[in-house]
Structure 1
């Protein structure tokens, strides 16, 4: 029996705020990538073979890269049940400059995937479970 999907939403990236490595993503950094590839994989911990489900929406707004997804795989559901609420982007930098404070200023990136993680590099890259009852069910 296939588990019931769980809806999540949150921010995979936040604009203008340094992550733990000092990288800062600028508004508009994802625009070209999302136009070329509107559907990016929803993974667990950046592992290509660990699909957690699928993103049904990924858009830039004034705060960051907003995402909505369905967790459909048992491993992804288990991670969410265990309390994971972090998101992390897998990307290739396209246009960037070094920051004096360390890290990079990312003006354009090629978004490859977005992963569920326990500890995101960008502390504000978090998601909420929109269907909590389904997460608690075994």
Structure 2
């Protein structure tokens, strides 16, 4: 027996639908034409109840899902040839990392997460410089602390 609300096939003795808990009131005396009409109505209800995402991912009239586009590159050919990290930007971040290593560490982490290989390379360099300078500054600070207590 088909549910009039969602179109799910239920056992003949079932009183409620196993899918949507709709009360099944269809009698056993229904003829084949009436069943066909109810089936068409159930399919129509099912199609209208499909959520937006499933309607967008399944091609109309087939059970095959549409291929999902996961990466669209809107950049023009001219912008693809430009370097992602300019030499001036690279030098500026490296110099600022020497003064404030937190800048190099933060920029390094943010550029490591990007997909472009040049971004990853620059991010690794900035992160390395930031960590090395932070360690050197820490060692210098500890040395001054030890020297001041020695006097």
TM-score by length of 2: 0.17
Considering Cα pairs closer than 8 Å and 6+ residues apart, tell me whether 1 or 2 has the greater RCO: 1
The structure carrying a bigger strand percent of its residues is 1
The structure carrying a bigger helix percent of its residues is 2
TM-score by length of 1: 0.18
Larger Rg: 2
